[in-house]
């Protein structure tokens, strides 16, 4: 409605449709007391608009959905591709989907590594190196008490087996390689037999923990072959 129409005292004649519009609280009394003139001043005064940046809406939109508001039930909705849902249900559905695929990925990866390890041990037969638990590695090294050196792939510790043999235990950093690569490395070392190469006696693969157990050779060969990052 233009200012010219509002200024006309006979502005009722211009109205063709009925609409509902908010007005300032301070204009309510003026409308009730002065009727037409009060309406004019109320419309000219406009109205204030307040809104809040709802965190729920932001979370909904970040999940790839569209935020909406149901005036009938005063409930905040999150409209997703699978239909209209309550925001919490939609967000939970989105999170559960992501967790499902992540768990499935790591489960398949872990199962594949376990199958490769079992196949390797079966193929090696009686010649297979001993598989140790991580708790065994801690006992062998007396909780990593005697450190021989440090390489790019982890530390090397002196230890002793139950039968009294001295060993060098190479504990690999958790960030170095995955389970499949480690198993392939163990298989490669096990197949290597040379007078100048230290013998691999055992290994440990438990979760993200990796360790190689070599015979202890104090004559220099240990440093050359175990500390080598390649």
Q: Are strands 166-172 and 83-86 parallel, antiparallel or unpaired?
A: unpaired
Residue 76 phi/psi, 5° resolution? -75, 125
Which secondary-structure segment (H or E) carries 111? helix 87-124
Any idea of the CA torsion for 137, 142, 145, 148, to the nearest 10 degrees? Answer: -50
C-alpha atoms less than 13 angstroms from C-alpha of 227 in its C-beta half-sphere: 12
For residues 158 and 145, what is the distance between their CA atoms, to the nearest angstrom? 8
Q: How far is CA 206 from CA 103, 179, 186, in A?
A: 18, 9, 14
Q: For residues 77 and 69, is the Cβ–Cβ distance under 8 A?
A: yes
To the question of whether residue 170 is assigned a binding role by annotation, the answer is yes
Annotate 19-49 with three-state secondary structure.
Answer: CCCCCCHHHHHHHHHHCHHHHHHHHHHCCCC
Residues counted in the chain: 230
Surface-to-core class of residue 116, CB atoms within 10 Å of its CB (0-12 exposed, 13-18 middle, 19+ buried):
middle
For residues 157 and 159, what is the distance between their CA atoms, to the nearest angstrom? 6
Q: Which residues are annotated as a binding site?
A: 170
Q: Which residues are annotated as a binding site for ATP?
A: 170
């Amino acid at each position: 409605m233009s200012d010219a129409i509002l200024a006309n005292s006979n502005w009722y004649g211009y109205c063709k449709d009925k609409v509902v519009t908010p007005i300032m609280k301070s204009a309510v009394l003026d409308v009730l007391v002065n009727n037409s003139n009060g309406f004019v001043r109320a419309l000219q005064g406009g109205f204030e608009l307040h809104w809040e940046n709802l965190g729920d809406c932001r979370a909904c939109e970040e999940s790839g959905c569209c935020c909406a508001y149901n005036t009938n039930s005063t409930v905040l909705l999150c409209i997703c591709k699978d239909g209209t849902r309550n925001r919490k249900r939609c967000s939970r559905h989105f999170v559960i989907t992501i967790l499902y695929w992540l768990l499935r990925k790591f489960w398949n990866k872990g199962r594949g590594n376990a199958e490769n390890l079992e196949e390797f041990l079966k193929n090696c037969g009686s010649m297979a190196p001993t598989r140790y638990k991580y708790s065994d590695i801690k006992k062998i090294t007396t909780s990593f008490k005697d450190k021989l050196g440090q390489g790019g792939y982890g530390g090397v510790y002196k230890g002793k087996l139950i039968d009294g043999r001295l060993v060098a235990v190479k504990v690999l950093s958790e960030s170095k390689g995955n389970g499949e690569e480690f198993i392939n490395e163990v298989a490669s070392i096990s197949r290597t037999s040379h007078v100048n190469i230290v013998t691999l006696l055992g290994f440990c693969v438990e979760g993200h923990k990796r360790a190689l157990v070599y015979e202890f050779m104090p004559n220099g060969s240990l440093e050359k072959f175990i500390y080598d990052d390649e």
